[in-house]
C-alpha cells in the first residue's frame, strides 16, 4: 500500500543573519528566489500529493512574487500557504494543523526553505525512510574535529567524533505522531526545539537516519549566499564520457539489461547482477566526470557488491554529477547481442534508466544490434554494451 506524502516547506523565518533587506528565502540566487529553487524538486516529485508552504506574517505578497517564477504547472500544485508563528516550532505546528484540518493522513516531509539545493535523490531517500520509520532524518558524518568551549572561549573538551552527526532537512515523519508531538510540546509550553526530530525525541519516539547530502547547504550567513551564488552562476561546460562492458553467458534463465530482468536461455557470469547496460552507462557518466570507473568505486574484490543490483552503481554516478553541481543532459546506450531480443523491452529499459539516473524519458536513448554472427557476441558467447553520457559541469575556477 502506498500512503499519501505531503511536503511542508518552512519559510516563515526572518533570516536576519544573512544580512539583507528581505528574508533569506525570498532573496535571489542567480536571479531566482531561494524559495522557488527549494520548491522545484518537491513539486516535480509526483508521489508528493501536497506541497504546503508556511510563510511569515505579512509575507504573502513576497510569496506570490516568488512563486511567479515557477512554471504554471508547478505553481498549480501548491496548496494555499499558511501563516506561521513566532518560532520555527510554531510555524511547523501551524502547517501540520492546516494539513490535519484538510484531513491529511500519511507521511510528511518537513523541509527548510533556506535549503535550496535539496536534490531529487535526497527527497527520494526521505520518502523511502518515511515508509519505514515514524521519524527519519538526513545525516552527515562530522569531518571537522568538534570541541566544546568554556565561558571564556577556551577549549574545555575535544568531543569524540565517531558518534557525532550533523543533520539536515527534509526530515520524514509519520504525520499523526508528529502532529501529536507538536501539540503536546505546545500544551506543555516546551519550546526551543530547532528541528522536528528533537520534538519527536522529546515525545519518546526513536529517530532513524538516512544519508544526507553535503550539497544540501543551509543558507544562514552572508558568506553562504556568496558561495551559493557562485554555485548557481558558474558557467557549465559540456563533457562527454563513454563506457563499454561485456559479460560472458553462463548457465541461467535470465539476464539483467538496463535494470530490467529479461528471461533468456542463458544467464551471465558476473560478480554483481551482470547488467552490461548499467555498467557501461555508469562508466560513461564517471568518464564524463573524469572520476575513475565502476571498478574503482565498487571493487569486484569487495564482497559487499556480490550479486549487487546494478541500479545503485548508476544512481551513485548520477549523484556524483549532482554533487559536483552538474547535470546529466543525455544518456545513450547500445546493446550488442544475438539474444535475448531487446526490442520488446526497449521502452521499459529507457524508463528504468531514466528513473535510476533521475532523468526524463526523452533524455535516455536505447538501441540494440546484433553483430551479424561475427565475433564473441555473434557466436552467442556473451553480450556487450556501449554507452555515452553527455553532462554539464560547472567550469573549473
Q: Which is nearer to Mg ion, 195 or 273 (CB)?
A: 273
Question: Does the CA dihedral 87-204-2-256 come out positive or negative?
Answer: positive
Closest residue to bound Mg ion by CB: 279
Look-up of cell digits 521502452: 347
Asked whether position 259 contacts Mg ion by CB under 5 A, the answer is no
Provide the CB-side half-sphere exposure for 165 (13 A, CA): 12
Judged by CB under 5 A, the number of residues near Mg ion is: 2
How is residue 184 written as a grid cell? 503536546
Residue 331 CB, shortest distance to Mg ion, in Å, is: 17
* Residue 264 sits in the site that holds Mg ion (CB under 5 A): no
In the complex, the smallest distance separating the C-beta of residue 284 from Mg ion, rounded to whole angstroms, is 13
Residues 273-292 that bind Mg ion (CB under 5 A): 279
Query: In whole angstroms, how close is the CB of 247 to Mg ion at the nearest point?
Result: 6
Nearer to Mg ion, 245 or 311 (CB): 245
Binding of Mg ion by 245 (CB under 5 A)? yes
- SS3 state at 162: helix
Q: What 8-state DSSP symbol labels residue 189?
A: T
In the complex, the smallest distance separating the C-beta of residue 276 from Mg ion, rounded to whole angstroms, is 6
In this structure, are strands 171-174 and 254-257 parallel, antiparallel, or unpaired?
unpaired
For Mg ion, give the closer residue by CB, 191 or 252: 252
- Judged by beta carbon, residue 115 or residue 279, the one nearer Mg ion is 279
**What is the DSSP-derived secondary structure letter of residue 373?**
T
Beta carbon of residue 269, minimum distance to Mg ion (angstroms, whole number): 10
Told to check if 311 binds Mg ion by CB under 5 A, we report no
Could you give the CA distance from residue 121 to residue 273 in angstroms, rounded to a whole number?
A: 23
Q: Which residue has the cell 553483430?
A: 371
* Binders of Mg ion in range 60-119 (CB under 5 A): none
Q: How far apart are CA 168 and CA 137, in angstroms?
A: 7
Smallest distance from the beta carbon of 136 to Mg ion, in angstroms?
33
Question: Which residue lies nearer to Mg ion by CB, 276 or 318?
Answer: 276
99 sits in which H/E element: helix 88-101
For 23, counting Cβ atoms within 10 Å of its Cβ (0-12 exposed, 13-18 middle, 19+ buried), the class is: buried
User: Binders of Mg ion among 124-153, rule CB under 5 A?
Assistant: none
Measured from the CB atom, the residue of 7 and 255 that comes closer to Mg ion is 255
Q: For residue 54, which phi and psi values (nearest 5 degrees)? A: -100, 120
Binding residues (CB under 5 A) for Mg ion: these are 245, 279
Amino acid at each position: 500500500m502506498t500512503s499519501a506524502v505531503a511536503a511542508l516547506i518552512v519559510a516563515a523565518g526572518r533570516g536576519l543573519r544573512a544580512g539583507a533587506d528581505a528574508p533569506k528565502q525570498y532573496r535571489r540566487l542567480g536571479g531566482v528566489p531561494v524559495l522557488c529553487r527549494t520548491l522545484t524538486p518537491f513539486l516535480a516529485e509526483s508521489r508528493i500529493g501536497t506541497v504546503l508552504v508556511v510563510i511569515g506574517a505579512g509575507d504573502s505578497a513576497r510569496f506570490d512574487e516568488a512563486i511567479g517564477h515557477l512554471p504554471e504547472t508547478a505553481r498549480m500544485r501548491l496548496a494555499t500557504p499558511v501563516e506561521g508563528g513566532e518560532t520555527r516550532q510554531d510555524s511547523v505546528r501551524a502547517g501540520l494543523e492546516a494539513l490535519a484540518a484538510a484531513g491529511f493522513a500519511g507521511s510528511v516531509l518537513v523541509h527548510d526553505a533556506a535549503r535550496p539545493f535539496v536534490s531529487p535523490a535526497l527527497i527520494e531517500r526521505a520518502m523511502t525512510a518515511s515508509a519505514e520509520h515514524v521519524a527519519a532524518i538526513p545525516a552527515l558524518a562530522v569531518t571537522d574535529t568538534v570541541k566544546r568551549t568554556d565561558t571564556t572561549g577556551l577549549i574545555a573538551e575535544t568531543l569524540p567524533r565517531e558518534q557525532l552527526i550533523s543533520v539536515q532537512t527534509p526530515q520524514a515523519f509519520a504525520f499523526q505522531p508528529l502532529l501529536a508531538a507538536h501539540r503536546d510540546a505546545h500544551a506543555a509550553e516546551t519550546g526551543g526545539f530547532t528541528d522536528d526530530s528533537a520534538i519527536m525525541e522529546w515525545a519518546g519516539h526513536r529517530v532513524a537516519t538516512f544519508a544526507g547530502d553535503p550539497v544540501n547547504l543551509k543558507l544562514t550567513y552572508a558568506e553562504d549566499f556568496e558561495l551559493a551564488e557562485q554555485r548557481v552562476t558558474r558557467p557549465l561546460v559540456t563533457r562527454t564520457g563513454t563506457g563499454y562492458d561485456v559479460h560472458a553467458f553462463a548457465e541461467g534463465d535470465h539476464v539483467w539489461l538496463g535494470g530490467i530482468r529479461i528471461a533468456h536461455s542463458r544467464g551471465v557470469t558476473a560478480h554483481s547482477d551482470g547488467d552490461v547496460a548499467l555498467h557501461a552507462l555508469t562508466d560513461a557518466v564517471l568518464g564524463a566526470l573524469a572520476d575513475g570507473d565502476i571498478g574503482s568505486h565498487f571493487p569486484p574484490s569487495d564482497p559487499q557488491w556480490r550479486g549487487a543490483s546494478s541500479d545503485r552503481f548508476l544512481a551513485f554516478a548520477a549523484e556524483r554529477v549532482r554533487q559536483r553541481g552538474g547535470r546529466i543532459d543525455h544518456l545513450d546506450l547500445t546493446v550488442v547481442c544475438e539474444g535475448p531480443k531487446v526490442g520488446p523491452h526497449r521502452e521499459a529499459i529507457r524508463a528504468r534508466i531514466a528513473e535510476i539516473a533521475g532523468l526524463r524519458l526523452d533524455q535516455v536513448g536505447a538501441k540494440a544490434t546484433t553483430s551479424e554472427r561475427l565475433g564473441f557476441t555473434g557466436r552467442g558467447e556473451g553480450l556487450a554494451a556501449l554507452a555515452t553520457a553527455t553532462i554539464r559541469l560547472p567550469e573549473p575556477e
